[in-house]
Amino acid sequence: MFHRFQIGAMNAMIVSDGPLTLPRPARIFTGPDETAIDAALRPAARAADKVRVEQNCLLLDTGGKRALFDNGMGTSRLFGPDSGQLPASLVEAGIDPASITALVLTHAHSDHCWGTMRDDGVPNFPNATIYMAQAELAFWESAPPGERRERSLAGVRKHLLPLRDRIRLLRDGEEFLPGVQSWLTPGHTPGHMAYLFDGGWCLTGDVAFHDPLSYVFPEAESAFDGDPVEGIATRKRVLARLADEKLAIVGYHNPWPGLGRVERAGSVFRFVAGSA
């Protein structure tokens, strides 16, 4: 599945890796009670018993480079049977993986980078330089083993470390591709990056992964945030900027194809779907 659009003067496309199935919201979000969660989900006609979120990968042509932002679950079915569609989506869109010269990661969780490497250790994008935050790679390279981290660590060892010499580490606020700037947004992971694009766009990664709950309850702790307190502070800061500057957003887990805007609704926020 793919969707073409423009980011400023740049040709862009969302290519889907397919949806993930996650546990019920009350097991992910701490703060609002189940009644409040149900009430927030009702207008969006979302099931309260489980969470289904998209994986919208951005493909962007800029300055003679072709960049893919995040690359899905690969062959893993950790979050249900419907992921792993990125290769088929690229074929459908007529995109040769060898034409992708930049692989840009928001962070190193499974659903964002496990499409990097095939199971036989051959890179899926043989000509790509990998861009990610210095703080992100440093964290995973030095993270002590722990039950919650074990899967992510295994993924980093399989997908990123073998390509270590092709990783270009980013700091906050770097224009590393023409018209594309990094924005360090830690909390979900220590080196989580959002990306800002010329033309008033932002790719938000997992700062607010669930529509509507992450927007209606920005102060709810998320079980997926490595540092839930920092996650809340970053979410509020990012959502406020997106709303105040009226930036168009590419939301990785937002409803297909993940394009829209963020508006303030009193002290909270809402995601308004629709291409700019």
Which residue ranges make up the site for Zn ion (CB under 5 A)?
111, 206
In the bound state with Zn ion, the residue whose beta carbon lies nearer, of 17 and 206, is 206
In the bound state with Zn ion, the residue whose beta carbon lies nearer, of 46 and 210, is 210
Tell me how far apart the alpha carbons of residues 71 and 84 are, in angstroms, rounded to a whole number. 9
Q: Supply the minimum distance, in Å, between the C-beta of residue 135 and Zn ion.
A: 18
Which alpha helices (H) appear in the chain, and where do they start and end?
Answer: 25-28, 34-41, 86-93, 110-113, 134-142, 150-159, 213-216, 228-244
Other Cβ atoms closer than 10 A to 32 = 18
Q: 218, 132 in Cβ contact below 8 A? A: no
Q: Supply the minimum distance, in Å, between the C-beta of residue 206 and Zn ion.
A: 4
Q: Supply the minimum distance, in Å, between the C-beta of residue 253 and Zn ion.
A: 6
The residue among 12, 257, 18 whose CA lies nearest residue 4 is 12
Q: 10, 178 in Cβ contact below 8 A? A: no
In the bound state with Zn ion, the residue whose beta carbon lies nearer, of 54 and 174, is 54
In the bound state with Zn ion, the residue whose beta carbon lies nearer, of 17 and 111, is 111
For residue 190, what are the contacts with CB-CB under 8 A and spacing of at least 6? Answer: 135, 136, 139, 226, 227
Here the tokens at position 70 are 């995040």
Q: Supply the minimum distance, in Å, between the C-beta of residue 85 and Zn ion.
A: 15
In the bound state with Zn ion, the residue whose beta carbon lies nearer, of 70 and 174, is 70
In the bound state with Zn ion, the residue whose beta carbon lies nearer, of 62 and 110, is 110
| Torsion-angle region of 150 (φ positive above 0: left; ψ -120 to 50: alpha; else: beta) | alpha
In the bound state with Zn ion, the residue whose beta carbon lies nearer, of 111 and 136, is 111
In the bound state with Zn ion, the residue whose beta carbon lies nearer, of 17 and 174, is 17
Q: Supply the minimum distance, in Å, between the C-beta of residue 172 and Zn ion.
A: 20
Q: Supply the minimum distance, in Å, between the C-beta of residue 198 and Zn ion.
A: 25
Chain-centroid distance of CA 168 in Å reads 19
Q: Supply the minimum distance, in Å, between the C-beta of residue 239 and Zn ion.
A: 17
- Determine which helix (DSSP H) or strand (DSSP E) holds 196, and give its type and residue range: strand 193-197
> Does the N-terminal peptide bond of residue 123 adopt cis geometry, omega within 30 degrees of 0?
no
Q: Supply the minimum distance, in Å, between the C-beta of residue 33 and Zn ion.
A: 25
Q: 130, 160 in Cβ contact below 8 A? A: yes
Query: Which residue in the block uniquely carries the two structure tokens 């423009």?
Result: 6
